[in-house]
């Protein structure tokens, strides 16, 4: 099964759910321009193309606008009273949360040297006013799309393609809220590879990485499409199983545990076996997400104490 590529489309679907961005969700653009009339014109143009935007006329409001609106892209005027476009762009880039959001100047500045100067200070691109509606829509769509693809890629772990720690935590919160709303049960599973240090020590770090990828692929293949699988830490994984009882979750993980333990791992000329320990907890028993994760972690620790290669609830 390890020959199978990472199932990226299904992961992306999970992440879109996670950040509440279904495929059809409109792109969001923050427009910063001191000329309200013009900004409103841009907003309506974008709206006509299904793109949502919010207008900010005072540069000092931009950080709040970013936080509240969470745009895919920012359009920035160059000449504004109090704060120039490039100054504002630098201010936005100062905050780690907005390191990768596209900052696009939309300005009447037609002097290419001044345009270049602005871009040299901060910002990613330049659009010149007046701009045809169709050109604005095309430019915004292309960059917003790219920006979203990048966010999705960054939420994914490079080694395994699984969801990273912060994103999986948010997923747990979402599933917990859903469970509370609908009364359905969801389970969280914490999985930790047994004696992983000795695998690294015996066969090398590369083989350790290979074992991590092996288990990641097995989890993804054996769990349902609605389940979420994340890499929680080095050799630790978290699975979130919506609409699943504690007993069913335990059984599903037990089957995976047995398969994994029987799998022959290959290193140089040897083959060897690896096992994991797992702990399961239910949304019906634990709130909030933090407590649910801790309960699954405690159950996993019990499994370790009990001799490893087992699942506890």
* Residue ranges that bind ligand GH3, judged by CB under 6 A: 192-197, 200, 205, 208-209, 212, 234-235, 304, 308
Q: What is the dihedral of CA 92, 96, 101, 104, to 10 degrees?
A: 30
Residue 310 neighbours by CB under 8 Å, 6+ apart? 257, 277, 278, 303
Residue nearest to ligand GH3 (CB): 234
Q: Among Mg ion, ligand GH3, none, what binds residue 126 when CB lies within 5 to 8 Å by partner kind?
A: none
Q: Among ligand GH3, Mg ion, none, what binds residue 77 when CB lies within 5 to 8 Å by partner kind?
A: Mg ion
Q: Among Mg ion, ligand GH3, none, what binds residue 197 when CB lies within 5 to 8 Å by partner kind?
A: ligand GH3
Compute CA distances 133 → 128, 149, 156, 244, whole Å.
12, 24, 35, 49
Nearer to ligand GH3, 71 or 161 (CB): 161
For this structure, is 37 an active site residue? Answer: no
Strand intervals (E) in 167-231: 187-193, 228-231
Residue 179 neighbours by CB under 8 Å, 6+ apart? 185, 186, 242, 283, 284
Output the smallest distance, CB 235 to ligand GH3, in A.
5
Nearer to ligand GH3, 140 or 229 (CB): 229
Output the smallest distance, CB 150 to Mg ion, in A.
29
Q: CA 181, 68, 15, 276 torsion: positive or negative?
A: negative
> For residue 212, which of 180, 249, 237 has the smallest C-alpha distance?
237
Member of 34, 87, 170, 251 binding Mg ion (CB under 5 A): 34
Could you list the residues that contact Mg ion (CB under 5 A)? 34, 77, 79-80, 192-193, 196, 236
Residues involved in catalysis: 235
């Amino acid at each position: 099964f390890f020959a199978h590529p990472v199932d990226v489309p299904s992961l992306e679907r999970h992440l879109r759910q996670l950040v509440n961005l279904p495929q059809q969700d409109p792109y969001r653009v923050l427009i910063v321009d001191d000329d309200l009339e013009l900004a409103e014109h841009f907003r309506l143009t974008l709206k006509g193309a299904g793109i949502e935007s919010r207008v900010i006329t005072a540069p000092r409001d931009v950080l709040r606008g970013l936080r509240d609106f969470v745009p895919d892209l920012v359009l920035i005027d160059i000449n504004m009273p109090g704060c120039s476009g490039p100054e504002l762009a630098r201010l936005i880039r100062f905050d780690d949360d907005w390191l990768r959001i596209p900052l696009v100047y939309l300005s009447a500045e037609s002097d290419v040297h001044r345009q270049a100067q602005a871009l040299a200070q901060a910002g990613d691109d330049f659009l010149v006013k007046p701009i045809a509606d169709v050109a604005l829509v095309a430019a915004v769509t292309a960059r917003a799309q790219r920006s979203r693809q990048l966010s999705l890629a960054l939420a994914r772990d490079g080694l395994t393609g699984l969801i990273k720690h912060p994103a999986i935590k948010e997923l747990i919160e979402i599933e917990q809220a859903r469970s509370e709303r609908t009364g359905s049960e969801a389970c969280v599973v914490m999985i930790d590879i047994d004696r992983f240090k000795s695998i690294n020590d015996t066969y090398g770090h590369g083989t350790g990485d290979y074992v991590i990828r092996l288990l990641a692929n097995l989890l993804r293949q054996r769990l349902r499409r609605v389940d979420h699988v994340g890499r929680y830490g080095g050799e630790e994984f978290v699975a979130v199983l919506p609409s699943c009882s504690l007993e069913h979750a335990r059984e599903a993980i037990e089957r995976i545990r047995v398969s994994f333990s029987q799998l022959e791992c290959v290193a140089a000329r040897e083959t060897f076996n690896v096992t994991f320990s797992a702990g399961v907890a239910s949304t019906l028993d634990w709130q909030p997400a933090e407590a649910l994760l801790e309960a699954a972690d405690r159950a996993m620790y019990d499994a370790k104490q009990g001799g490893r290669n087992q699942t506890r609830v």
